[in-house]
Structure 1
């Protein structure tokens, strides 16, 4: 989330594709060069159940992660025909520790859950081909007494014999081909993780206790998960004779606490469901795997092996984004609130955008300043515990990615809070009179207590909710006279600048260094927060930085705002560019054309810029005609824009009109009919 692979959590893993052995002659030269010859890079395939009752119609498939015996054989044959080299966990560890390098096109075969079919159908093929593999064991499932049904969750039972017995695993481990890994003892299921009763993966989520009206605290979470991991490790060692040194996270979800606990138990190799190759920069605690599903065919297997990662690589995905405010979902009456959420879900499902930027804070005047939050936290009032449920429902019921939209600095802390007065301040004017800071009150990014408060807020967001990315708000800027507080002046002195804004501004070279220093300082803060969230949530949390339009249109954006298009494009996965004039009026054609030209002058930045059109007239608050929004989107596309969106979605008023916008906003329409490839 990232990262949570929610599709596998629901048993809805989509088609990822590897064809018949007949496609084995596909050009090897198309494969990524770094997979071939650095001695460290490898790929991992994640395989589940092997069943021969699968049908071509996905609607009839009970488990879309299962594959047939014939398909498994085809995958093995394709690997051999295309000169991929299956490797063991031992070879990977050795290569990363300075030992023998991995062969070109190294690939590890991993099998999750220890299904009986992996012993009866996969193991004979592994022996036939001589391929090493990894099998991840959910010890509660394997340890269920023979002849009894296996409880795979609090509600679900599987027939006796569906999973391997311990003697099967011992035989496989003794063969020298198979490494046994932990897949937790009893955390491969969903568990209640918010007041509304949504179930999130039990390993990575802080549980919610309805009877107590509270969440699991950090100590309780640590004790629960550590005890589970210890139990699994002990059972594997007792029954196979080998202590596991590899950990495979259920649903691909993990966090720093889980990694730390498993490392203390001797498991230093950890597997996720993040996509892409395991290049030398990917640590062994976060190994990426490609999920195999029932309808793999070979053309897309090649495509998957060519991919660098899900988002960070040469092929940047198309984005279609809808901004949604939780203020519009919230209602003091739970029944009305649930009806609002249902209406939102129906609307997003019908529109089919790629992502929703979900405003996780209470902002009654639309200023971008947080007066309260929609998730549990230590510093601001919680208006309602609503972000977790809304995000999870959007992800699982509509298939979109959800980004948490938060300010970077504009948190209005309660009176008496230790950091409430540690704000961005402006330097006095030339006549010595005080000057007001630019825009809304913001916490100073230079003040240690203010930064600690911001870190706590983002950490609490990661701890209690699950999402795919973060949108840093437009408040992340510093004007030409900001920040002139004591902490800021001390930072400037550390940069080799005079501790006086007036003195800095009087010298063009000092002013340039000052502006660039502020740009860098704000960027460092966002990267620190992104790393904090990613470290807790696991996976790849995507980042979006909001850029003011005047920072693009006017040449001195760095000096005036400490914002820069090229710097943002280099540092973040996407740049959100609100396409609205300062007056709040709908953008004129000439203004919009000028904005598109200004961004297009930065070709690399154009690939990451999301043009976010205004759906409301900022002067009157009335909806902009849906036909006008559609025309603006088409005009931007013709000018080279790849990523489009609008803000806000007034879902309760059914504005904008989905019938008008769907052809430009739906990801289902972004398919070339002749090739079936995404554009």
Structure 2
């Protein structure tokens, strides 16, 4: 078949396919948000990679779930045309954002990553036939490899012939349909990111030097990134004559400091793999893209092109809540065995998320005196959190939330802030509550923020879980910093006076609740500098959820927390609350919690019900039968998000079968784009023992 006839055949095939499926699309669309507004500004982006003649056969030789078959890409282009989507150029987008000509209805930017040879042999001719513009992101170190040699593509080198020749790129650059971006020079790879040897995305990882036992400084890290970007830009411009103004982040991994580095290197536009539309509120420094995968047919792209931004629709969240103390062992070999056991169990269960302890609490008092990551203020028990989080993400395919205290830190006595703790009305630190630093002290807030920033700097994770220590009772905080804060709120700087007046008491409780929420938001903002897209969750006690008046004893409010965080981690633990004298009482109590969530706007959508897997009064595990009964009750009551604590993976408690039936999301996963969270066809080399 001649090439012209081939393209005509594919176009007609795609249009016919669309006509046959058109009656089914409205039903599918009902499960999606409304189409993007036609405002001349919002746009979508699709991230393509390699294009092959027989993708399934080539997949067996070189596994790559983002490579598309040539026929599929042709069908996608025809489907875009048939469905009214208008491919636009990066220039059109920048002009529209600068007050120029508005974008046409349903605009979409097409991008192709990595610089594969198919960009010239397959994609470029197709763009010319459809008159579609596109952006091509080049990994310049790969293109610099001489012909006939091998390109270091992930763990397995591949022939240089798989990638563009510079002469071909130069020919493409002369077309008005083509714009080149950098995909970096040598950052499309992994670098050692922890003592155990894991290789992590080079653009967002402080390199660990095993010879010195030290991490890169911020200055050295940013110098490395900026130098790489400058080199890549210079090579593309010298070899092709094109001007480069955009960076496409390898693996979609970026942070605020590297975006600044790209701007300094002359590339103020950067593209990510964050999902959703690019509305006016999304800057061109963080353009969102949907990832195309090999197994999606043309009509599947409606999911990508109408998907909401991350966080606008909460996916079903099934959670295993894990103590890293169970993994830690002074013997490195035994510690690795423990970590492997955890990963195997999580992979077998397949939850959506793992709430993973990032602080050490071997005595179980809920207070952090040591941490599992490098930081400026507390001893590091072991540099373990980054290792565990990365292994869980890459091997068990789950989202990891770093579980951290908010104020429950026990600083070394040598630290001058060690005594700036929460005080009760008598001026003492309450012995029956968590040891907590005062959240009203500005220097304490700065110190805790530094700890959180150190966590974000040194580990790759998807979310934060704020510990239940974020609470204040009705007789605290009476520290000097707290009293000064009350005065600034227009209230008496005296706790006894506040407690004596019901109206003042209510105002004071509400203000303390708001203060703790604002503090956690500050902490999340410090982490997001290094980990954009961070989700947040916060543990709440059940009593202020069931009894709103109990806010005065906890400074916790259910509705306010639902508004502040992606998820509320509700401690739905009848035994802890002494509501489990009989099975009937326990079930009635859980039913009340479920009804409260159902009757609260966003309650069922935003609440993870965490059950209790161990009775801390007796030290005995809660039986599988009891947990199964409770999970069944909650699911029948409409509860969507479920979890439990603790998971004792070393002793199979709760049992694997019990947990898998209740917590697995395997059967809940929809077939929607993107199928893979991988940002590139080239895998990270795994390094180190897995």
TM superposition score normalised by structure 2: 0.90
Closer, same or farther: CA 74–323 of 1 in aligned 2, 3 Å: same
The answer to whether the 8 Å contact 1:55/1:61 transfers is no
Distance 2:605 2:73 in 1: 38
Moved more, 555-564 or 369-378: 555-564
The Cα shift of 1:42 comes to 0.8
Distance 1:418 1:103 in 2: 60
The Cα shift of 1:245 comes to 0.9
Q: Could you report, residue by residue, the CA deviation over 1:315-372 in whole angstroms, capped at 9, with x for unpaired residues? A: 4211110111110000111111111111111111111111110011111232321121
Distance 1:522 1:252 in 2: 33
Distance 2:133 2:33 in 1: 23
Kindly indicate whether residue 145 of structure 2 is the aligned counterpart of residue 144 of structure 1: yes
Kindly indicate whether residue 512 of structure 2 is the aligned counterpart of residue 514 of structure 1: no
The answer to whether the 8 Å contact 1:585/1:619 transfers is no
In the other structure, the counterpart of 1:577 is 570
Distance 1:438 1:246 in 2: 56
RMSD value, Cα: 2.2
Closer, same or farther: CA 635–61 of 1 in aligned 2, 3 Å: farther
Kindly indicate whether residue 102 of structure 2 is the aligned counterpart of residue 101 of structure 1: yes
Moved more, 31-40 or 52-61: 52-61
The answer to whether the 8 Å contact 1:35/1:104 transfers is no
Q: Could you report, residue by residue, the CA deviation over 1:276-328 in whole angstroms, capped at 9, with x for unpaired residues? A: 11122212111111111111123432122222123x22x42111101111100
Distance 1:224 1:671 in 2: 39
The Cα shift of 1:629 comes to 0.4
In the other structure, the counterpart of 1:10 is none
The Cα shift of 1:422 comes to 1.4
Residue of 523, 530, 540 corresponding to 2:524: 530
Closer, same or farther: CA 130–502 of 1 in aligned 2, 3 Å: same
The answer to whether the 8 Å contact 1:586/1:624 transfers is no
Distance 2:112 2:83 in 1: 21
The Cα shift of 1:208 comes to 0.9
Q: Residue 511 of structure 2: SS of its match in structure 1?
A: helix
Matches within 5 A, 1:609-624: 609-624=607-622
In the other structure, the counterpart of 2:200 is 200
The answer to whether the 8 Å contact 1:23/1:299 transfers is yes
Residue of 564, 567, 575 corresponding to 2:560: 567
Distance 2:50 2:374 in 1: 39
Distance 2:414 2:49 in 1: 55
Moved more, 247-256 or 529-538: 529-538
In the other structure, the counterpart of 2:395 is 397
Kindly indicate whether residue 554 of structure 2 is the aligned counterpart of residue 553 of structure 1: no
The Cα shift of 1:530 comes to 1.4
Structure 1: runs of 5+ lacking an equivalent: 1-18
The answer to whether the 8 Å contact 1:113/1:138 transfers is yes
Kindly indicate whether residue 18 of structure 2 is the aligned counterpart of residue 23 of structure 1: yes
Structure 2: runs of 5+ lacking an equivalent: 1-12, 581-585, 676-690
Distance 1:300 1:438 in 2: 56
Closer, same or farther: CA 468–59 of 1 in aligned 2, 3 Å: farther
Closer, same or farther: CA 434–71 of 1 in aligned 2, 3 Å: closer
The answer to whether the 8 Å contact 2:35/2:306 transfers is no
In the other structure, the counterpart of 1:11 is none
Matches within 5 A, 1:153-168: 156-168=156-168
Kindly indicate whether residue 87 of structure 2 is the aligned counterpart of residue 86 of structure 1: yes
Distance 1:98 1:244 in 2: 22
The Cα shift of 1:107 comes to 0.6
The Cα shift of 1:56 comes to 8.0
In the other structure, the counterpart of 1:285 is 285
Distance 1:407 1:90 in 2: 47
Distance 1:623 1:248 in 2: 49
Matches within 5 A, 1:11-90: 21=15, 22-23=17-18, 25=22, 26-27=25-26, 32-33=33-34, 35-55=36-56, 62-90=63-91
TM superposition score normalised by structure 1: 0.92
Closer, same or farther: CA 107–560 of 1 in aligned 2, 3 Å: same
The Cα shift of 1:175 comes to 0.7
Distance 1:262 1:671 in 2: 36
The answer to whether the 8 Å contact 2:353/2:400 transfers is yes
In the other structure, the counterpart of 1:176 is 176
Q: Could you report, residue by residue, the CA deviation over 1:379-416 in whole angstroms, capped at 9, with x for unpaired residues? A: 11100011111111111111111111001111111111
Distance 2:295 2:553 in 1: 54
